[in-house]
Amino acid sequence: MLQFWALTSKGVEEVLATEINQSGAQVTKLGLGAVRFDATIEQAMYLCLWSRLATRIMQQIHQVNVDEQSDVYTLASEIRWSDYMSLSQSLAVECVGKHPTIDNTQFGAMRVKDAIVDQFREATGERPNVDRLEPDVRFQLRMERQSFYFLQDFSGPSMHQRGYRKEQGEAPLKEHLAAALLIRSGWQPTQPLFDPFCGSGTLLIEAVLMARNLAPGLKRVAFAFEKYANFDMSLWSSMRAKALGERKAIAEGVRFVGSDLDPRQLEKAKQNANRAGIGEFIEFKLGDATALESLATEIPGVIVTNPPYGERLGDLPTLIPIYAAFSLALKQHFANWRLAIITSNSDLLRALKLSRLKSYKFNNGPLECEFTLFDLTEKQVQISTAAPSIFFTESSSFANRLKKNVKQLEKWAKREGISCYRLYDADIPEYNVAVDWYDGEVVIHEYAAPSNVDEQIAQKRLFDIVNLVPQVLGISSDAMVLKVREKQKGKEQYQALAKAGQYKQVAEYGAKFLVNLRDYLDTGLFLDHRLTRRSIQQQAAGKSVLNLFAYTGTASVHAAVGGAKTVTTVDMSNTYLDWAKRNFDLNGLAGKQYQFVQANVLDWLQSCHNQFDLIFVDPPTFSNSKRMEDTWDVQRDHLKLLGLIGKLVAPGGKVIFSNNKRRFKLDAGALTEQGWSIKDVSAQSLPEDFKRNPHIHVCFELTRG
């Protein structure tokens, strides 16, 4: 018996071990993404032809115990490599794992390659060629704990590539993982199978291959073992011929059905199925998973599917209603069926409102996923169908409060001439979110829950919020954006969340702005500083205005709209300065009197010798940007900042200083000694929609006598 390794994805190891044992080989050890087994050459060849779950089969040619000082070149040189390849064959070497003497896997692979070619050169005077892409022979070094394992590739390129899938969807499920999901779902070839999010059809194609008992390796052009010196061509030919004769007919009454909303994906699925030679057995339909109809099968079947699950929290508002509607359709038309779903966001499964039967962990590429089974029993269907559309009855209090706030604020906003404002700000402590209205669209900010709040309860409340907000506001779910607000430090408060690039025009006191609701944590417009911006507009006529830490230049726009003589806008980010310029263009503001400066504000202040009549400064709470030599903390550094600003204030000029640090304390004593007169205007600067949160910012007017 020889020693082999079968490689696979994380989570597939146990079902792969069962498959190996059923082939007649003997499993010796399960590892992460690998199953080791003893087998004859014939049994290993059989697995290459028949395994639905392995991605590669490797033959172990040497194993040696190692310590922290072991030299891989020396150990590799002990192997007689001419037993495993000839001088005329090209080679490639891979390396996986860790060892103290190997800085990286590329170095480990290079040292093994050096040992091989040096051995051939010493024996023959010549060296074999290296071909990393299409070698005749591929070796692998696996470093695990106290051992080095030297393996030779037995199967060749990944066995998940069956040869039929040239067309795939945006989030393709690899063939071996699809087969594993079908096995874990409990589906049997005598049962109907339905995939309502079928994409490129991989789950259905793999199911038909299993039902027809078609060897997945039959369409493979060649396996690596065919280049072995002892390869038995007659044995391999008879093995393939036998496999061709093992195909079965589909059981009577069994249907394989797939549906998808995207006709392009359905076309790809049909092409894949035809290439696999089983297109006639699968029904592909254009259809919405939230509006299913009964398949009218005589016996209940299994629904195995890979629905969209998003990789960002912001996807939840769109996906939660889809999952809820999908679940309702299942309950109406698929009683007594089994549902099996793979998702990287298990929280979405709560929207199904079904009791889980069993769950398994799998890796779908880089994503850690959960594969969950539900039995749609009549009892569960009746209970869950009758259940309310929210998790907690007390969530109705949130909905009622939101309705009340909307009623109070709508007329006020219209009267004020603003199109974006805050509707809700953690009014009910248990529902710890802020809801902001942006002229027909909504941004929900979920504040990080305190450590003493159960995470699952907080998540369920969030689901209720996401379900209720569109109902209360009369908007569609895709007009809603969800973001998590945690304590941000430095550049984190401005980091990109996505790259949707969708900008929206909004209005405020006669000024127009572009906001981006999806790409950043903040939208480009700080709603709580609205009155401060209006005050700047009202005071700016004929004055030279300076806006520091300007962000997207909204205060600068108000100053220009108010008739400022000059406006200078300073920020360290080119991204936000470009945004500020676009805001100026949107308002028809152009000319040399409007200056945009990309600079570290503290450095710029030290080099600036101009005087300004009105200066607005709204610094970040904290910053550790790479462009700043030192960190910035508004509590610690505000005196230094205002000292630098003081040199730029024209006689009779004014500084408006604000920030959003909770419990900020202005050092009034030190500022008074420096000759500043201070007026706390925090309360007056608080807009109507933020009066429920009086500590959201502080604002001071500073003048010099």
- Does residue 693 surpass a pLDDT of 60? yes
**Location of structure tokens 């108000």:** 558
**Location of structure tokens 């069956």:** 162
Q: Is 38 exposed, middle or buried (0-12, 13-18, 19+ CB in 10 A)?
A: middle
Write the pLDDT tens digit of every residue in 244-303: 999 999 999 899 999 999 999 999 999 999 999 999 999 999 999 988 888 988 899 999
- Does residue 230 surpass a pLDDT of 80? yes
- Among 157-166, 278-287, 455-464, the minimum mean pLDDT is found in 455-464
Write the pLDDT tens digit of every residue in 23-41: 999 999 999 999 999 999 9
User: If you average pLDDT over residues 374-403, what whole number do you get?
Assistant: 78
pLDDT confidence bin for 320, thresholds 50/70/90: confident
User: If you average pLDDT over residues 65-78, what whole number do you get?
Assistant: 93
Residue 433: predicted pLDDT: 93
Residue 388: predicted pLDDT: 46
pTM greater than the 0.75 cutoff: no
Domains, the chain, in order of start with CATH, read 2-153 (3.30.2130.30), 175-213+250-386 (3.40.50.150), 395-486 (3.30.750.80), 523-704 (3.40.50.150)
In the chain, pLDDT over 70 holds for what percent of residues? 94
- Does residue 425 surpass a pLDDT of 70? yes
Residue 170: predicted pLDDT: 54
- Does residue 167 surpass a pLDDT of 60? no
- Does residue 386 surpass a pLDDT of 50? no
Please give the sequence-ordered ranges of beta strands (E in DSSP) within 275-345, or none if there are none. Answer: 282-286, 302-305, 338-343
pLDDT confidence bin for 485, thresholds 50/70/90: low
pLDDT confidence bin for 456, thresholds 50/70/90: confident
Give the DSSP letter of residue 520. Answer: B
Q: Are 51 and 154 in contact (CB under 8 A)?
A: no
Please provide the DSSP assignment of 594-611 as one string.
EEEEES-HHHHHHH----
Residue 286: predicted pLDDT: 95
User: If you average pLDDT over residues 654-682, what whole number do you get?
Assistant: 95
Cα dihedral sign, 148-154-160-161: positive
For residue 57, the tally of other CB atoms under 10 A from its CB is: 26
- Does residue 498 surpass a pLDDT of 70? no
